[in-house]
Structure 1
Amino acid sequence: MSDDRPELARQRDLDQVYEPAEDSHLLAETAREYVGEGDLVLEVGTGSGYVATALAKTGADVVTTDINPMACREAHEAGLPVVRANLVEPFRDGVFDLVAFNPPYLPTPPEHEFDDWMERALSGGEDGRAVVDPFLETVRRVLAADGVVLLLVSSLTDIEAVRKRAAAGGLSAREVADESHPFERLVVLELRPTEQ
């Protein structure tokens, strides 16, 4: 009789890791146009590693992060270099040619928050920007001189508010891709350092 416990434990772990959806596909497709052989890329909040794997196929050197230990395990098992980290905290200044991030962006009232990893992968707090705002405050530091950030956001998060926060962090923002869905519009913002 076989022991199914390791497989059941793995399935429980996978239930706590964000799997690729429309937002992941849009970010991966857009980001592939920005990178090539030898570029140093950071994917923040890698989840299953889908975006990072797509970018690694271009010849870019990709590093991933996630705060979720089960997502880190998934990325590692997919053959990706992974650091368990909050946003860009452990990285040196000025090193990445591209930073890609599909953050938790769904506006979630406090009474509907759950304390599990899947909730953390989805919930952007009350305004949808609880993770986006701290990211925008810190990401410029890790960009190379001509580096770029690709940030996926939703119309549910107030894209104009995201643009203003980016500007406050020394980043210009322009839409480079979008998709309309029944309840939201997904947008990839290209963020570049401005002169300060």
Structure 2
Amino acid sequence: MGLDDRRERDDVYQPAEDSDLLATAAMADVTPTDRVLDVGTGSGYVAAQLQAAGARVVGVDRNPHACRQAREAGIDAVRADLTAAFAAEAFDLVTFNPPYLPTEPDEAADDWMGVALSGGETGRAVIEPFLADVGRVLAPEGRVLLLVSSLAGVETIVEHAAHVGFASETVTEDSFPFETLSVLRLTRN
């Protein structure tokens, strides 16, 4: 691995406990006929597992380095913001491991890794716009698997999802000393 490869890897969120939790939930939910959008695909870790299960997967990320890594993992990756680049009712399943760490305004993300981690003051700065538009790209019976952290206020996220027309259920969770991570399965009310 050359210096440029290491530098690029440092600019892309690499799989961690949250990635594994989302991937496990997604593998239990996906079917081989699903059209899947992996939002914030990063290295393509979750997307690659779903693709190996036979699903047709597209990854999306704002980070050009992430798109390159996902492509190297065999994922069709689009550089765009959240779901904005996609047609209505295009996907059966949308997965998302969003930036959820609460950050103060003076800690604004000034590099790609900061963008991948920073959820704004509440931890929901990316989650809320995602919830506002994800219903548009879902097929009528589509579903969303959203990783959330107790640091970002899970109940507030569930309430926001309900406000935009989604029922929520927790499909898995894991506790750590500083937070609990959960995967919410969202379906239309």
Q: TM-score scaled by structure 2?
A: 0.98
Could you tell me how far apart the structure 2 residues matched to 1:171 and 1:119 are? 29
Could you tell me how far apart the structure 1 residues matched to 2:29 and 2:92 are? 9
Aligned counterpart, 2:135: 140
Could you tell me how far apart the structure 2 residues matched to 1:153 and 1:43 are? 15
Could you tell me how far apart the structure 2 residues matched to 1:47 and 1:126 are? 22
Cα shift at 1:11? 1.0
Secondary structure of the structure 1 residue equivalent to 2:5: helix
Correspondent of 2:170 among 161, 169, 175:
175
- What is the letter of the counterpart of residue 170 of structure 2? E
1:156 aligns with 2:176: no
Aligned length: 189
1:84 aligns with 2:79: yes
1:48-127 to structure 2, matched below 5 A, reads 48-127=43-122
Which consecutive residues of structure 1, in runs of 5 or more, have no partner in the other structure? 1-5
- What is the letter of the counterpart of residue 95 of structure 1? A
- Decide which structure has the larger Cα Rg and report it: 1
User: Contact 2:102–2:152 at 8 Å: present in 1 too?
Assistant: yes
- What is the letter of the counterpart of residue 123 of structure 1? S
Q: Which moved more, 1:113-122 or 1:128-137?
A: 113-122
Could you tell me how far apart the structure 2 residues matched to 1:36 and 1:140 are? 20
User: Contact 2:109–2:118 at 8 Å: present in 1 too?
Assistant: no
Q: Over aligned residue pairs, what C-alpha RMSD do you find?
A: 0.9
Moved over 6 A (4+): none
Cα shift at 1:38? 2.1
| Residue deviations 1:25-80 (CA, integer Å, cap 9, x gap) | 00000000111212100000000110001111110010000000000000111111
| Residue deviations 1:121-163 (CA, integer Å, cap 9, x gap) | 0000000000000000000011111100000000000001101
User: Contact 2:93–2:138 at 8 Å: present in 1 too?
Assistant: yes
Task: Give % identity.
Answer: 55
| Residue deviations 1:68-118 (CA, integer Å, cap 9, x gap) | 000000011111101001000011111211000000000011122231000
Q: Which moved more, 1:106-115 or 1:128-137?
A: 106-115
Could you tell me how far apart the structure 2 residues matched to 1:158 and 1:178 are? 14
Could you tell me how far apart the structure 2 residues matched to 1:76 and 1:124 are? 26
Could you tell me how far apart the structure 2 residues matched to 1:176 and 1:125 are? 26
Correspondent of 1:40 among 8, 13, 35:
35
1:188 aligns with 2:178: no
Which consecutive residues of structure 2, in runs of 5 or more, have no partner in the other structure? none
